[in-house]
Structure 1
Amino acid sequence: MGNIIASLIATFVTLPLLGWIVCYALSLKITKDKKKAFKISVDFTTFLLIIACHYLLYEISGKSFLWVIIITLILTGVLFSFLHWKTKEELKFFKIMKGVWRFNFLLFSISYLLLLMLGLTHRISVI
């Protein structure tokens, strides 16, 4: 049973798009609302993309860049907090965190695609 769960997690981390599709299908079945299901699946997939980018960076360079990922998450949080404070003159923590998390979905989606292409070209050029 543990091997099955580990295999599922490894598959979703390796292919975050598959995780998004499965999460979207499940949340659509539960909520019956496409917009809410989309947001739930984006929130879930952000976590998968962060882990996938970490492992892609590790495979390409042989070094862990988890500290860069954590600093990126913190800096986007600080930037969003500052921008929210400048425009609204008050801080709403939950709203800021939703914005940061969804922005990180876009950021890490692009990073994942770029790292995937870089990793493939790196492996092909080694052969």
Structure 2
Amino acid sequence: MENTINIAKQWIEKVNDKNINAVLEVSDPHIELVGPRGVAEGHDILRKWIEQSGIHMETQDYYAKGDEVICVQKATWEHQSGHVTIYTYMQMRNGKVHRLGRYDTLDDAFGECHLSEEDLVE
């Protein structure tokens, strides 16, 4: 679980820094991206998302077990004021982010994985 959280932290830090090559290094080549606009796969889509989203995430809490983690985050976007709370789900495979989902509620994030309230990391 600790390794899973460390990979998630690295991934988020690299996205916040807009270091695309570093994000790709910790992302599976066939990463599956799930978001409000649907599902996409691969490094090309991930690269475009990093370039265009302008997102910055500050993690408040983690729910983690095995190869899955949900990061409770305060998210802001370039050229927009204020922030929203998002729930970023990551599934790891072979030390890389294999599946990534962004959800508006914790219940929605829990619905996509094997995590629950009991998996809150203290």
Q: TM-score, normalised by structure 1?
A: 0.26
Larger-Rg structure = 1
> TM-score, length-normalised on structure 2?
0.27
More strand by share: 2
